[in-house]
């Protein structure tokens, strides 16, 4: 009888998956380095960190096995790719690099796209005067986000943040490079000793120190994922999706509606939002980018409408009226006529 065990993927290492089992095996063995069964790839099933899986072919002495089945997901965060996420923690620094409201908004929009709860962490709080830090906290709270201002050097805010993260589920840290995500994990889990890097002095951008996504245990039921930093998250393609990614806009529209259903909330007649909200200009910048990209894609589609792909090149489509009828089609029509009891015309005629 084949032994099967259930577990969770906590890291991807080259072509292998590191799986933590729900129940330990012999000698307390609970972490297995697993390959993927070929049928998973053939059926198009992609395995991500956070996935619940079933393994078989277990070799306990070498701590090896193979993933044979993938359980349904409750959610999927595309970038970084993490499955079954219950909340997204956007981490940004107030200094080094300087906090940019537009960049922060882009990260928050990306986090909102998951449909999970979003919270915000402001790192390097010790580098900012208390009055400025408080102003930032009040500002983002007005955007609709719970916020924790922390310092890994002084320990400021770490206790409150830890208490919010030990709730059951998977929380993902995401944000630009160099804001201190790895330092934050080291502060929450001192035994990790993750590598950290400095911010570039010329560009004021962080250097990538985290190369892959990995889950770490904060409590028996709470997992925290570190992720590689990226400096310009993508915006959604649909302006309607973009508007729903702004909590202050979403909540206002739930109470009242605009005059027109396709309102852009940029000074349109009868707009319920108006312009008296903090991120009005930031929303306008994001909306402009989304609309410009949509227009560019539409124009590209029009240019390609009269072309078809042949190998590695594009060529004009031939007008159907100019096409010669294929001999195969004529032969099939004759066969159909015969099967219907009709006779072929006499060649002599």
Taking CA 336 as the corner, what is the angle to CA 335 and CA 342, rounded to the nearest 5 degrees? Answer: 90
**Rounded (10°) angle between helices 280-304 and 101-112:** 70
Residues 94 and 113 in one domain: yes
Same domain, 90 and 216: yes
Range of the domain at 46: 5-72
Residue with tokens 């292998």: 16
Are residues 57 and 9 both part of a single domain? yes
Tell me, what's the pLDDT at 126?
Answer: 94
- Tell me the average confidence (pLDDT) per consecutive run of 10 residues in the chain, 349 residues long: 89 90 92 93 89 95 94 85 91 91 94 90 94 96 95 93 90 86 87 58 44 83 79 82 91 89 88 90 94 82 65 67 73 78 55
Beta-carbon neighbour count of residue 257 at 10 Å? 12
pLDDT of residue 319: 67
Out of 226, 254, 270, a domain closes at 226
* Judgement on whether residues 164 and 56 belong to the same structural domain of the protein: no
Given this model, what pLDDT does residue 207 score?
Answer: 44
> Does residue 37 belong to any structural domain of this protein?
yes
**203 and 112 both lie in a single domain:** yes
| 147 and 181 fall within a common domain | yes
How many folded domains does the chain comprise? Answer: 3
| CATH number, domain containing residue 59 | 2.40.50.140
pTM above 0.85, yes or no: no
- Boundary-marking domain end, from 72, 105, 125: 72
Please tell me whether residues 260 and 213 are part of one structural domain: no
Would 327 be classed as within a structural domain?
Answer: no
Residues 197 and 282 in one domain: no
Do 19 and 149 belong together in one domain? Answer: no
**Domain boundary pick from 277, 301, 325:** 301
Give the CA distances from residue 226 to residues 81, 149, 221, in Å, rounded to whole numbers and listed in that order.
Answer: 11, 18, 17
Q: Is 80 exposed, middle or buried (0-12, 13-18, 19+ CB in 10 A)?
A: buried
Whether residue 345 is contained in a domain is answered as: no
């Amino acid at each position: 009888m084949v032994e099967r065990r259930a577990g969770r993927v906590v890291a991807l290492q080259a072509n292998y998956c590191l799986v933590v089992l729900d129940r330990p095996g012999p000698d307390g063995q609970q972490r297995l380095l697993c390959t993927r069964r070929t049928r998973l790839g053939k059926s198009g099933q992609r395995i991500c960190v956070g996935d619940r899986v079933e393994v078989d072919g277990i070799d306990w002495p070498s701590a090896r096995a193979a993933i044979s089945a993938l359980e349904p997901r409750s959610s999927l965060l595309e970038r970084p790719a993490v499955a079954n996420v219950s909340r997204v923690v956007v981490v940004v620094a107030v200094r080094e690099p300087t906090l940019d409201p537009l960049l922060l908004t882009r990260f928050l929009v990306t986090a909102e796209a998951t449909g999970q709860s979003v919270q915000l962490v402001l790192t390097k709080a010790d580098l900012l005067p208390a009055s400025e830090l408080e102003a930032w906290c009040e500002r983002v709270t007005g955007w609709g986000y719970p916020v924790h201002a922390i310092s890994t050097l002084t320990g400021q805010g770490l206790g409150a943040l830890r208490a919010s993260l030990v709730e059951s589920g998977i929380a993902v840290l995401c944000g630009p490079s160099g804001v201190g995500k790895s330092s934050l994990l080291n502060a929450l889990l001192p035994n990790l000793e993750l590598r950290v890097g400095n911010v570039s002095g010329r560009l004021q951008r962080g250097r990538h120190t985290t190369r892959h996504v990995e889950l770490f245990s904060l409590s028996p039921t709470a997992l925290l994922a570190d992720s590689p930093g990226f400096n310009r998250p993508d915006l959604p393609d649909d302006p309607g999706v973009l508007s729903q990614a702004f909590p202050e806009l979403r909540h206002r529209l739930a109470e009242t509606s605009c005059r027109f259903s396709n309102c852009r909330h940029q000074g349109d007649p009868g707009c319920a939002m108006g312009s008296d909200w903090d991120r009005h200009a930031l929303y306008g910048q994001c909306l402009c980018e989304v609309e410009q990209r949509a227009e560019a894609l539409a124009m590209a589609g029009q240019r390609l409408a009269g072309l078809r792909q042949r190998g590695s090149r594009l060529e004009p489509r031939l007008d159907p009226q100019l096409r010669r009828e294929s001999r195969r089609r004529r032969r099939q029509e004759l066969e159909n006529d015969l099967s219907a009891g009709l006779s072929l015309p006499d060649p002599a005629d």
